[in-house]
Structure 1
Amino acid sequence: MADNTNPASATALIVIDVQESFRQRESWQAASDPEVATQVARLVDYAREQGHPVIWVLHSEPGSNTVFDPESGHVRLIDGLTRAEGEPLLTKTAHNAFTTTNLQQILTARGIRSLITCGIRTEQCVETTTRLASDLGYDVTFVVDATATEPIEHRDAPAGRPLAEVLADPRTLLPADIIARTEYALAGRFATVSTVKELTGS
């Protein structure tokens, strides 16, 4: 457990939804970074070296019969990521990591005032958590290249189309555009936008 008398413990890394569920979907083939877990692992190593607590968050949709249903067996960390002893693992059912978990209680108990956020999806759960954290008074660093996302279909697009049709639709918002928009939306308003290299120095 982090030592609250150590200034390093005033910052925590929040790893959001880097879970096997996403890799089970066809859309993951078009993800911005299918190997995002490698970047996340670099951040986790950095956080542990700095004495920052690491808090893991998974998304769950019980009873949905989807890859996010715990019964599917996919609501678990992506293979290759390892949670150390004592690192909290929270399960959420909302987009942000606060509303349906005791995340804020954990942060308050540990004296955390600054957060580093990363995970899947860039513009959804990671951005939403970042925005809420900022509104709650946390100083947030959003590590953009330790996030990943997938194409987003137009709101009027028919459901259930194969990936090839989604990508061929000119109305589909592609990952690079989604990530750029998220950077513009967050920077200077809700977070400092950084990269793994900029944050870790390596």
Structure 2
Amino acid sequence: MTRALLVIDMQRAFDDLDFWGPTTNPDCEQNVAALVSAWQASGEPIVVVHHDSVSPGSPLHPDNAGNALMDAVATVDPALRVRKNVNSAFYGDPDLGEWLTAEGIRELVICGIQTNMCVETTARMAGNLGYDVTVALDATQTFDLTADVAGLGVVTRTASDLMATTALDLQAGGFARIATTAGLVGE
């Protein structure tokens, strides 16, 4: 096997829109489930990445119920489970890069949450490390963002805008191809 599915941070905390704010792509979990099913049927490896926040107040902290995996991946028996507390799955435990090398995997299909955070960071690193990367954009999800940015003032972007920007940055920047779940499952 030279291809793996990386499922990033599909955790119940992201269902809490009071905490995260407005979102887009309500079909994310359903599309992740379709990818997982296709990978299981093909016997290709699945890597489940789990975010363990170091902040006790975060819904993603290991002591909080939101740290649990969503139904789409809760029962998956992955080839590898990576736990991390930063944006990139390449900085987790166990070491994703070492495992990919040991398994001879050079192609990654990435999905999960958040599109413009952990998914994008992992895809950029994977591209820089020489992996052939595809991001299933419709199997990702993110949330509106607002921040007071020095020199710019208050900047706001909708989840849809952030998803489109991530897709553009990844594909135009040469980090990854953007695909749909249907396109990947139909291969």
Question: Do they superpose with TM above 0.5?
Answer: yes
Residue segments in structure 1 that go unaligned for 5+ positions in a row: 1-8, 157-169
Structure 2 gaps, min length 5: none
Instruction: Provide the rounded CA distance (Å) in 2 between the counterparts of 1:19 and 1:120.
Output: 8
| TM-score between both structures, scaled by the size of structure 2 | 0.89
Partner amino acid, structure 2, of 1:24: D
Give the one of 105, 108, 128 matched to 1:112.
105
Residue of structure 1 equivalent to 2:181? 196
Distance in 1 (CA, whole Å) between partners of 2:71 and 2:30 is: 10
Displacement, 1:198?
1.3
- Please say if 1:82 is aligned against 2:74: yes
Equivalent position amino acid for 1:12 in 2:
A
| Pairing of 1:119-130 with structure 2 (within 5 A) | 119-130=112-123
Tell me the residue number matched to 2:144. 151
Matches within 5 A, 1:159-178: 171-178=155-162
Do residues 183 (structure 1) and 176 (structure 2) align? no
Of 26, 36, 42, the match for 1:44? 36
CA–CA separation in structure 2 for the residues paired with 1:100 and 1:16: 12
Q: Distance in 2 between matches of 1:86 and 1:27?
A: 29
Contact 2:170 2:176 in 1 (8 A): yes
User: What whole-Å deviation, never above 9, does each CA across 1:139-189 have from its counterpart, x for those lacking one?
Assistant: 000110000000010335xxxxxxxxxxxxx94200111111111101141
Aligned length, in residue pairs: 182
Rounded Cα–Cα distance in structure 2 between residues aligned with 1:173 and 1:86: 34
CA contact (8 A) 1:27 1:150 kept: no
Q: Which structure has the greater CA radius of gyration?
A: 1
Is contact 2:85–2:92 with CA below 8 Å preserved after alignment?
yes
- Write 1 or 2 for the structure with the bigger share of strand: 2
Task: Output the TM-score relative to the length of structure 1.
Answer: 0.82
1:30 counterpart = 2:22:
yes
Taking only aligned residues, the RMSD between alpha carbons, in angstroms, comes to 2.0
Alpha-carbon separation, structure 1, partners of 2:49 and 2:110? 11
